[in-house]
Structure formats: structure tokens, C-alpha cells
Amino acid sequence: MDPLVLVPGLLCTRALYAPQIAALSVDGMTIDVADHRSDDTIPAIAARLLENAPSRFALAGLSMGGYVAMEVLRQAPERVARLVLLDTAARADAPEQTENRKRQVALAAAGRFDDVIGALFPLFVHERHENDAGLRAAVFAMARDTGVEAFARQQAAIMGRIDSRPGLSAITCPTMIVVGDGDRLTPPERAREMQERIAGSRLEIIANCGHLPTLEAPDETSARLVEFLNC
């Protein structure tokens, strides 16, 4: 069984994958969570991941973590045994997205970090979960643990990412793409776009989930990961 490296999304921490870590650890899988807070470019985050990762490993990334995962495949494809892309997209940042990120970073730096988190939360979850106090508390806790300075580095990395679509056809390892059916940030059509370009990849759509299926539907998401990583 290959060890697993997990890459969280923007403002997320190891807690994003807590249910999946618990489920996969039952089988004795070695699991590491990559550092995606210390660098301000996607290539640098991927290089740090590779420096600390086993010689060969399974790789899973959600949202920003997916951007990092695709860069890892560019830098060292021979080291990745299996790939899981969760609620992510292969496109570069659109101009309006970049401008919005800059505003968020400025607000956070001006002492309004909680306002930024509060505005992002409804976009992170399915519309059915917008009033879920437990999910809201989990997202706020991860964001505050990340902090303003790391948030700025993460946003700089996301803004500077390249369009990964041209390189998707070069991915040859077994790949599973997961997306919540109600994801408003990276909707199912973005997942289908990747699935169509990665030969042999499978697409799993999680019902009644937004951008964070690992927390919104932890049991179903865990079951799909366990099945894919152990097959």
C-alpha cells in the first residue's frame, strides 16, 4: 500500500481531512499532510512537498491542493502512484477572481480577516449547509489557524498558477476526480473538463455537497477514497 500525501485547500488545515485520515488509518496507511502555507508560488509548494514526501506515494488535493497536485505531476510524475483531485479546476485564475482575491488579502491585512472568512463560508459549502453551525465553526477554526500572513501567501500562489489543462493528457497514473454537486467555486463542469482530458480517470459526484465534501459528506467521501486507494 503506497503512503498518501494530502494537500489541503485555501485556509484549510489537516482538519479538512480528519474523517478520511481516520478511515484510511484503519488499514495502516501512512498519511502525511503537506505544508501549503510557507511558500507563495504553486511550484515552490510542490517542490517542498516532494522534498518531504516518500519516494513514491499516492497524492490527493482539494481545491488549492489540487493545483499543487497537478504541479507535482509536472515536476515528478514518476513518483505519484495514484492521484485524487477533489473540488478543484485546471484553469488559471480569471481576472475577476484575481481582483477579488486581492481585495480579500487587503481586508485581512486591515484587520477584517473574520469578515473575509464569513464571506467565503457560504461559497465553501452546499446551499443546504449555509446555516450549519458545526461546519461554520470548523471552517473558521481552520482559517484562524492558517492566519493572515499564510492566507496572503496562499492567495499569491493561487493567483499566479498556470493553466494546467494542456498538461492533463500527460497524467498516466490512476486518477479519481471528486466534486460536490453543489460546488459553487469549482462546479462539476470543471471536474468533467479534467476527467475528459485525463485518460482512464473516473469522476465521482457527491450529492448535497459543496466545495468541502470531506467535511460535508465525510462518510461517503471517505468510502470512495478507501476504495480507490486500496484497489
Own/partner pairs, 224-227, CB within 8 angstroms, 24+ separation: 224/176, 224/178, 225/20, 225/23, 225/24, 225/60, 225/84, 226/23, 226/24, 226/27
Q: How far apart are CA 219 and CA 225, in angstroms?
A: 10
Chain segment 42-53, per-residue pLDDT in tens: 999 999 999 999
Mean pLDDT on 19-23: 96
Q: Which residues pair with 175 in a beta bridge?
A: 83
Residue 27, pLDDT > 90, answer no
Specify whether the CB–CB gap between 87 and 180 falls below 8 A. yes
What is the structure's pLDDT at 128? 95
Distance separating alpha carbons of residues 218 and 205, to the nearest angstrom: 13
User: What confidence score (pLDDT) does residue 28 get?
Assistant: 84
Mean pLDDT of 82-103: 97
Between CA 64 and CA 72 the distance in angstroms is 13
| pLDDT at residue 24, rounded to an integer | 93
Say which CATH class 4-93+155-230 falls into.
Answer: alpha beta
Q: Any idea where the domains of the chain sit in the sequence?
A: 4-93+155-230
Q: What is the pLDDT of residue 144?
A: 98
Residue 1 has pLDDT above 90, yes or no: no
The structure's pTM equals 0.96
Q: Is 38 exposed, middle or buried (0-12, 13-18, 19+ CB in 10 A)?
A: exposed
**Which helix (H) or strand (E) segment is 205 a member of?**
strand 202-206
Tell me how far apart the alpha carbons of residues 56 and 79 are, in angstroms, rounded to a whole number.
4
Is the pLDDT at 26 greater than 90, yes or no? no
* Cell numbers found for residue 150: 499564510
Dihedral through CA 178, CA 90, CA 212, CA 97, nearest 10?
A: -160
> 178-197: per-residue pLDDT in tens?
999 999 999 999 999 999 99
